[in-house]
Amino acid sequence: MSDGPKLYTNKPKKGQLKPKAKDYSTPVPNPSTPKMESSQSTPPPPPKESFARRYKFLWPLLLTVNLAVGAYLFMRTGNKDTGTEAEEVAQEVPSAPVESTAVPVPEKTLAVPIVVEPIKVHKPIQENEQRQLFKWMLEEKRNTKPENASEKKCIDEEKAILKQFIRAKSIPTF
């Protein structure tokens, strides 16, 4: 039998290998001590498996979750295309003075598709009707009771603007 290279399926540790005989460091076996053969005869622990093999039950779960997230994102982007139709309708309507008020939309309702109604163009209001409307607004501003000085200053500025519109020869269109 030759002491050639041995091929191990499980590589033994240094402590499990037989020490090579050296002249100056060869220990003399003591018959009174118990033999160490019993610890050397136990099989070495099995090798560590790779991460992928240890957690192979997680791969199908990971792929399923990834597919579900991808499908959710794909479906969500499909619903956003409905806003382009409202822009086309707005371009076809002739430009006219229209006041629009911005309504704040809570973020929770964004998941529900919002139906956009086309902008209705109303007939322009005549100048005498606008003057009557400005006079009515001025009366309402006069009836309001300001709570502090800054609010009073703001109301006074708005009343001054309304008075300018009422006294003007022609009312500007917006």
CB 13 within 8 A of CB 44: yes
3-state SS record for the chain: CCCCCCCCCCCCCHHHCCCCCCCCCCCCCCCCCCCCHHHHCCCCCCCCCCHHHHCCCHHHHHHHHHHHHHHHHHHHHHHHHHHHHHHHHHHHCCCCCCCCCCCCCCHHHHHCCCCCCCCCCCCCCCHHHHHHHHHHHHHHHHHCCCCCHHHHHHHHHHHHHHHHHHHCCCCCCC
pLDDT of 15 strictly over 90: no
pLDDT at 157: 94
Q: Which residue has the higher pLDDT, 137 or 112?
A: 137
Lowest mean pLDDT of 58-67, 94-103, 149-158, name the range. Answer: 94-103
pLDDT of 7 strictly over 80: no
Q: Of 158, 134, 135, nearest to 146 (Cα)?
A: 158
- Cα(132)–Cα(111) distance, rounded to whole angstroms? 44
pLDDT of 54 strictly over 70: yes
List all residues 6 or more positions away from 127 whose beta carbon is below 8 Å from its beta carbon: 170, 171
pLDDT at 137: 93
Taking the CB of residue 67, how many other CB atoms lie within 10 A of it? 10
